Amino acid sequence: MNVPEILVKRAQILEDYYKAHYPALAPLVSQCFLNTMETTVKELEDGSYFVITGDIPAMWLRDSTAQVRPYVKYAKEDLGLQKILEGIIAKQAELVCIDPYANAFNESANGAGAKDDTLLNDHVWERKYEVDSLCAPIYLGYLYWKTTGINRIFTQTYHAMVTAIVDTFTVEQDHRKSDYSFQRYDCVKTDTLPCKGKGRPVNVTGMTWSGFRPSDDSCSFGYLVPANMMAVMAMEYAKEICLECYQDKALADRCSQLGEEIQDGIMEYAIVEHPKYGKIYSYETDGFGNYKLMDDANSPSLLAMPYLGYCDREDALYQNTRRFILSMDNPYYYEGSLAKGMGSPHTPEGYVWHIGIVMQALTSGSREEILSCLAMLSRTHAGTNYMHESFEPSKPEEYTRAWFAWANTLFAELLDRLMEEDFFASK
């Protein structure tokens, strides 16, 4: 991949800055910043761009958005980067229109991927329905438009994508009306949906149902709260796009109403009174009074709410929730001799995620906390100078996924932000 010159220059600036201000991170920052562009982006014959996650040869809608998000702010000054990002946005819109229930896609209609009991399509690598997968392309398109002022990305295919997303979210507000089901056999139970592939029953709440989490693990209860929070913002962004770029008031009104209904559902059904932390957000609920009190390092997470634009980091309800999820009361928060932070039921018990540590720093207003996160990141890359999916916090040489571009790019986004703020010069 021919990396745009503006990114190469930025990588060098980052490296020079950290050599001066935090030498332990200097060997990581440049190669992590460029990792997505150097190793995972491919131009296709039709001019669109395909983005793999790293060590899996498929394009996840969520991951591809997260992988290139930090590059968007440099696109206004570089035509080559514009071409790449616009090609990725076009590819995402095309893929959603092929199947809005799929989370990951093949480079072509080659039939690769899992052969699950669901409505299969040769373009689809995996058909685990995840609400955040549909939010991610709207986030990316909106961010690109607002950052560059370029609206040519809003094609008829993009409009069809927004329509498909609104239709899907609306159907899944009452999952009983949905035709979607998913079953995988001879697997761990988190890789399939119970009740003959339909998932456990849920009440109608205004929120929209999700079969799977951003970890690709199945939901215990069908309303995944962080994904619904992301959907609230996605509908707000889509409304603005529909009004300003398509002059489609009818679709904009649908986005607005849907976002309001999801938000009302969150506030009515997703908040729990915790005896230790007060009112907090649950991770999942079924609308019948059952809750999952936890958080997962994969984003969207409850921890990531301010990063995703859902609330201010000083919001009282967020702060209560944050204190819970960054404690041992969260069943997926782990501590070791070299690091502590959130893990996931998707990876070995006790393993901490680099994405979780980075997100903790990105959403923190505490200098001390940010410095603590940077110290953990600097000593847990196992000498590879790259981030990983998860690692044993007392033995970081024991890790999962040596090539996980999302973690590398998010880490670089943090370091880039701290440099812009001149974090190390402040008192």
Kindly report, residue by residue over 108-161, the tens digit of the pLDDT: 999 999 899 999 999 999 999 999 999 999 999 999 999 999 999 999 999 999
- Mean pLDDT (whole number) for 242-258: 98
Q: Which residues contact 375 (CB under 8 A, 6 or more apart)?
A: none
Amino acid (one-letter) located at 12: Q
CA dist 294 and 281 (Å) reads 9
Q: 100: closest CA among 65, 135, 69? A: 135
For 118-175, give the DSSP string. S---TTEEE----HHHHHHHHHHHHHHHHHH---TT--HHHHHHHHHHHHHHHHTTSG
Strand segments, DSSP code E, in 328-424 are 333-335, 340-342, 352-353, 390-392, 395-400
Domains in the chain, please, with CATH?
46-293 (1.50.10.10)
Per-residue confidence (pLDDT) for residue 47, from 0 to 100: 87
Kindly report, residue by residue over 80-101, the tens digit of the pLDDT: 999 999 999 999 999 999 999 9
Question: In whole numbers, what is the pLDDT of the chain averaged over residues?
Answer: 97
Kindly report, residue by residue over 343-374, the tens digit of the pLDDT: 999 999 999 999 999 999 999 999 999 999 99
Q: Render the burial of 292-307: b for 16+ CB within 10 Å, e for the rest.
A: bbbbbbbbbbbbbbbb
How crowded is residue 114: how many other Cβ atoms within 10 Å of its Cβ?
Answer: 15
Amino acid (one-letter) located at 225: V
Burial of 176 (0-12, 13-18, 19+ CB in 10 A): exposed
What letter would DSSP give residue 389? S
Per-residue confidence (pLDDT) for residue 114, from 0 to 100: 87
The CA distances from residue 168 to 9, 162, 229, in Å, are: 42, 10, 16
Overall pTM surpassing 0.85 (yes/no): yes
Kindly report, residue by residue over 221-237, the tens digit of the pLDDT: 999 999 999 999 999 99
Strands of the 124-126 sheet, one edge to the other: 59-60, 104-105, 124-126
